[in-house]
Amino acid sequence: MFNVLFKNLALKIFSLILAILFWIIIIASQQTPFQFADQLEIKPFNLSEQLSLVTSLPKVKIKILASKEILPKLTKQDFEAYIDLKNIQKGKNILSVAVAPKIPNVTVASINPSQVTVEIENVSQKQVPISAFYKGSPSEGYKIGELIPQTAKAQIKGAESVIKKISDVKGIIYLDGAESENFQKDIVLQAFDNNGAEIKEVSIEPRNVKVDITVLALMSEKSVDIKVITKGSLKNASVLSVKTDPATIEIKGDKKSLEGIEYIETIPMDITDAVETVEKYAALNLPKGLSLVDESKNKIKVTIEIKPY
């Protein structure tokens, strides 16, 4: 029996070693941690209402163990990264990061970073004004006028040192280039420090507000003739010429209002029964939406030369 057991012993040992190595290779290939592509946001749990984080938490990278069938289907929504802030103290604290898969047959092999430093302060809050600004341009020939938020102030809440940096909260209005009349827009409020850097470590109430936006037509200028309008009739006389001083006038208005305007009329002048030259000052009859570049020139000197029969 011993002869059978020890017959070709070296070959049997070599075969056993090969089998073990093959098994190890198979197991290792099935359990190689996979670097998950997306970074995960860390959520703080169990933080007292009287305390607040001073800075935002970093994102973490993870390596996971999962079958080849599951891997392509995984998204960052399938994991939850968190730190437990129960019984935490004010000041700087070093805490371990945990990541929990939300689906079975997935294991988190490593977390980077595995620990984070968090700074904790007392909560502070205050009311600050709400303002709005815009990016982009309205329709050609128009400009943005007033931006008036329907809510005047917002309540901000966060760490004491962070709240001190904030003097107001703002929302951005994005223009698409088609705006040609007044409109209303919802904005999401953001907090900024004095250097214009956004501060995310605060809560803002309300978070969304409506803003009334005024759109104004750009003013253009144009030089046009002056047309004298008369009323009444002459007896035994006729009009030889009509002159104005100045002969033309500068008007302004939006591009649409100026289109097709070649002259401006005067208020009607009464020349009933005139038998000699008439000199008067006549006011201009400006169409709606137009005005004079120089308002002091609203009255024009008119000379009507009349010849009796």
List beta partners, residue 93: 118
Residues of the chain with CATH 2.170.120.40: 123-217, 219-308
Query: How many angstroms separate the Cα of 57 from the Cα of each of 38, 43, 80, 115, 183?
Result: 16, 8, 14, 11, 38
Report the pLDDT value the prediction gives residue 1, as an integer from 0 to 100: 45
Partners of 254 in the β-ladder = 219
* CATH code, residues 123-217: 2.170.120.40
The Cβ of residue 99 has, within 10 Å, a number of other Cβ atoms equal to: 18
Q: The domain 34-121: what is its CATH number? A: 2.170.120.30
The answer to pTM > 0.85 is no
Q: Are 149 and 132 in contact (CB under 8 A)?
A: yes
pLDDT attached to residue 110? 95
What is the tens place of the pLDDT at every residue in 197-232?
Answer: 888 889 999 999 999 999 988 888 999 999 999 999
Mean pLDDT computed over 44-62: 93
Delimit the CATH 2.170.120.30 region(s) of the chain.
34-121
Report the range out of 1-5, 24-28, 114-118 with the highest average pLDDT: 114-118
DSSP 8-state assignment for residue 295: G
Report the CATH number of the 219-308 domain: 2.170.120.40
Question: What pLDDT is attached to residue 28?
Answer: 46
State the pLDDT at residue 30. 52
Quick one: 126 exposed, middle or buried, by C-beta within 10 A (0-12, 13-18, 19+)?
middle
